[in-house]
Amino acid sequence: MGLGRAHSCFMIITVASFKGGVGKTTTAIHLAAFLQGYGPTLLIDADPNRSALTWAGRGELPFQVVDEWQLGDQAQIYNHVVIDTPARPDLEDLALLVAACDLLILPTTPDILALDALVLMTDSLHYIGTRNYSILLTVIPPHPSRSGAEVRSVLTDAHLPLFKAGIRRYGAYQKAAQQGQVVYAIKDSKAESAWQDYRALGRELLHQWQNY
């Protein structure tokens, strides 16, 4: 991808998963939107499905989205870079992703198939020799389901790095993707609540980085 660590970016965040459908692109889009409020932010769509570019192409996002082939040297002018990656990177690609970022975010939904994939990914990261990642629970179902709390407890007991913030399940995200917008920009009764979840994640991320 040609993105080295010698550039002037304040922070490089990579979003990765061994499984699709866990909110990887939604997380990349909304983290980029949050970080844009703190400085110019670039989202690199390195997923062959080009989900982030498709999302951006349906409307207007408040930050620049490019694929890895369009990158060139333009990352130099941004304060933050967020990278959306292909699902199920192999071990070599995973090592490159880790080396090229400040933090790897692993989104997972609170279901058994997603957790199986998450275990495989964390095992691969530990094999590489890094713990430079943090798990993000996404698509958390509403009360009375306790699956989100139960999975959080399992991950905490396993001493895996986990964001305190979690992303609840809202249809507003699908509307935002259809309209090519960040969720806060659409008309939906849950849009503000959905955005607040990512604001909480963004604030936690910045707090971690400032204390790194």
For residue 74, the model assigns a pLDDT of 65
Is pLDDT at 208 greater than 70 in this prediction?
Answer: yes
For residue 40, the model assigns a pLDDT of 94
d(CA 91, CA 162): 22
Is pLDDT at 44 greater than 80 in this prediction?
Answer: yes
For 161-178, what is each residue's pLDDT tens digit?
999 999 999 999 999 999
For residue 55, the model assigns a pLDDT of 97
- String of b and e for 7-37 (b: at least 16 CB within 10 Å)? eebbbbbbbbbbbbebbbbbbbbbbbbbbbe
pTM of the model: 0.91
Domains, the chain, in order of start with CATH, read: 11-199 (3.40.50.300)
Contact 172, 190 (CB under 8 A): yes
Contact 160, 133 (CB under 8 A): no
Query: What would you report as the CA-atom Rg of the chain, rounded to the nearest whole angstrom?
Result: 16
Q: What is the mean pLDDT of the chain?
A: 90
**Coil/strand/helix, residue 129:** coil
